[in-house]
Amino acid sequence: MSENGFCPEPSADVREVRDWVHEFARTVVRPAGAEWDEREETPWPVIQEAAKIGLYSLDFFAQQSFEPSGLGLMVAFEELFWGDAGIGLSIVGTGLAAAALSATGTPEQMGEWLPQMFGTPDDVKLGAFCASEPDAGSDVGAIRTRAVHDEASGDWILNGVKTWATNGGIADVHVVVASVDPSLGTRGQASFVVPPGTPGLSMGQKFKKHGIRASHTAEVVLDGVRVPGSCLLGGKEKLDARLARVREGGRAGEQAAMRTFETTRPSVAAMAVGIARAGFEYARDYAREREQFGRRIGENQAVAFLLADMATRVDVARLMTWRAAWMARNGRSFDHAEGSMCKLVAGETAVWVTEQAIQILGGAGYTRDHPVERFHRDAKIYTIFEGTSEIQRLIIGRAVTGLPVR
Ligand SMILES: Cc1cc2nc3c(=O)[nH]c(=O)nc-3n(C[C@H](O)[C@H](O)[C@H](O)COP(=O)(O)OP(=O)(O)OC[C@H]3O[C@@H](n4cnc5c(N)ncnc54)[C@H](O)[C@@H]3O)c2cc1C
């Protein structure tokens, strides 16, 4: 390894962040998890508390995104989601929208919109990223939302229906992926900022979910939404140049939405690692105490071996996540789809580990008297959003075979 090579030992700065977030997760987030899961509402008071200590802030996200090893956000997300995933997603959902904006936005656009996504500790705001549509989930190329340029004013007019948007309709700033030239399919898309209070953007159905119930998920309806030309992320010149290259049959770069997913995958994996670890630790502690047949259940090999596998898989998921985060931060290309690999492994690990946790608690695990059933419900989203497990396998399959796997 070179001097700046991958190191699985977090720096003192990263350890400090980890311990600070852990304390917030332990004292504020974990105790509130069950309540907000039942209420199925955005936990505004918890987000405000996170804002007051500087955890829900642009400064924190920016600082940790630029942390040189790439591990800053990873440890923060693991700890927060160890506390509770529904509340965790309510706190970091804006970060995903911010990442979408930063992936294609100009420095001016970032300077204008990122602060408005977070607001201030006294007036907290949210951001939402809207790519998915009823007929365009895994198939991002099927996006039907249209963005039409009004030559006279320079404005863009957006029409369409977005679905599954985290913070959709309750966010102040929405980042919307739309098709500029449907004849170019996936290559004819661009991302737009819809500023706070823009007429024509409204919330559709709010979904009642299996897990991460404290996190708001809703449809977003775009009906003649008019935004100034400055809201096209990256600017018109860049878009025109890209579209011209596509029309000439040249390389056109990646689709707008796919680029966002690339950069956010290790972060999403880190959330799943946090849930998995929470499930493992809870089951381990239970197995040390609970007695049947005159001995602690953890003294049975069957239970101890399960705990051994759970601990091992959590470590595997974390190490793969940290590797991908380090690669992304240090400009390494994901030749073997290492970003997808970590998301795949972490998501499936979270589901498996939390299911085993229920098993180790027996009947108690199946009730809401213990959090493991909630951990399990929360974990399941990690094999679905930000690319399903099948889509991750598709990407990895293509990378490792070099074949156009379908
Ligand atoms: C709680 C929640 C929050 C979300 N937040 C956001 C958000 O903030 N912003 C946003 O834009 N989106 C968001 N999403 C959307 C999410 O990314 C999509 O649900 C996901 O991409 C899958 O799309 P889909 O639900 O339409 O499933 P589909 O694409 O219809 O897939 C259904 C099944 O078919 C499989 N499948 C599809 N194509 C293939 C293939 N080629 N090969 C093999 N199997 C295949 C899938 O893996 C899956 O098992 C969220 C979703 C949920 C549930």
For residue 387, give the ligand 1 atom closest to its CA: 21
In angstroms, the CA 100 to CA 95 distance is 9
Which residues face 28 on adjacent strands? none
Q: What is the pLDDT averaged over residues 240-248?
A: 92
Determine which one of 79, 262, 348, 386 is catalytic.
Answer: 386
Q: Assess whether the C-beta atom of 129 lies below 6 angstroms from ligand 1.
A: yes
Q: Look at residue 140 and give its three-state secondary structure.
A: helix
Pairing of strands 146-149, 156-166: antiparallel
pTM for the structure as a whole: 0.97
Tens digits of residue pLDDT in 341-397: 999 999 999 999 999 999 999 999 999 999 999 999 999 999 999 999 999 999 999
Burial of 367 (0-12, 13-18, 19+ CB in 10 A): exposed
pLDDT tens per residue, range 80-111:
999 999 999 999 999 989 999 999 999 999 99
Q: Which residue's CA is the closest to the ligand 1 atom numbered 31?
A: 138
Residues contacting 80, CB < 8 A, separation 6+: 21, 24, 25, 29, 55, 88, 91, 92, 271, 274
Question: Which is nearest to 303 in space by CA: 278, 284, 320, 325?
Answer: 284
User: Does the pLDDT of residue 251 top 80, yes or no?
Assistant: no
Residue 394 CA: nearest ligand 1 atom is 42
Give catalytic status of residue 67 as yes or no: no
Ligand 1 geometric centre to CA of 225 (Å): 25
